[in-house]
């Protein structure tokens, strides 16, 4: 397994696990009405720092324990092609997500918010829906890369 494939696996798994727990916690706090900015900012900073530390530590281990030809600075045409496919799929996802968010916002504005809605359209909720779209697009990017590395393309 090349360094780039290992990197894609680490990024995929760490992003899924760390940000899944972040979003579950934040949306549960939102449901309960506890959207204190300081608490959520602390959770976000914690998730980002944890992501950086986990990915950085594992990448250091991979780069020091592997062959010199498997290191990060050696990318061939196959690696570049796989990267491009991952970015393409992520771009499609984030573009679609943003358009769905815009349509959802427009619909809610035109139709009006129901009195029993759990999630009000606050800047907090809209920002987290867009952030979730970004994280989903990154997961798609890493999953695409893993798929093509496993497939041997």
Q: pLDDT tens across 2-17, in order?
A: 888 888 899 999 999 9
Cα separation of 57 and 7, whole Å? 11
Whole-number percent of the chain with pLDDT over 90: 46
Q: What are the DSSP E strand ranges found in 45-139? A: none
Exposed/middle/buried for residue 103 (C-beta within 10 Å: 0-12, 13-18, 19+) = exposed
- Measured on CA atoms in the order 90, 93, 98, 101, is the torsion positive or negative? negative
Task: Check: CB of residue 85 under 8 Å from CB of residue 144.
Answer: yes
pLDDT number for residue 70: 53
- Looking up tokens 């916002």 gives 105
The three-class DSSP label of residue 112 is coil
Tokens of 87: 């970015």
- Measured on CA atoms in the order 72, 73, 79, 82, is the torsion positive or negative? positive
What is the number of H-type helices and E-type strands within the chain?
4, 0
Residue 62 pLDDT exceeds 90: no
Question: What would the mean pLDDT of 47-51 be, rounded to a whole number?
Answer: 94
Residue 53: count of CB within 10 angstroms of its CB: 11
- Domain positions in the chain are 3-151
Cα separation of 148 and 72, whole Å? 18
What's the predicted TM-score (pTM) here?
0.82
């Amino acid at each position: 397994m090349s360094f780039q494939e290992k990197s894609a696996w680490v990024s995929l798994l760490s992003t899924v696990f760390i940000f899944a727990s972040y979003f579950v916690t934040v949306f549960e706090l939102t449901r309960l009405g506890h959207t204190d900015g300081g608490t959520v900012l602390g959770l976000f900073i914690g998730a980002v720092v944890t992501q950086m530390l986990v990915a950085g530590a594992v990448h250091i281990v991979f780069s020091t324990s592997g062959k010199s030809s498997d290191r990060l600075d050696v990318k061939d045409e196959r690696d570049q092609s796989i990267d491009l496919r991952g970015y393409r799929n992520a771009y499609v996802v984030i573009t679609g997500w943003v358009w769905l968010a815009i349509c959802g916002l427009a619909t809610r504005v035109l139709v009006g918010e129901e009195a029993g809605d759990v999630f009000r359209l606050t800047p907090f909720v809209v920002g987290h829906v867009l952030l979730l779209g970004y994280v989903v697009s990154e997961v798609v990017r890493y999953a695409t890369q893993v798929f093509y590395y496993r497939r041997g393309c």
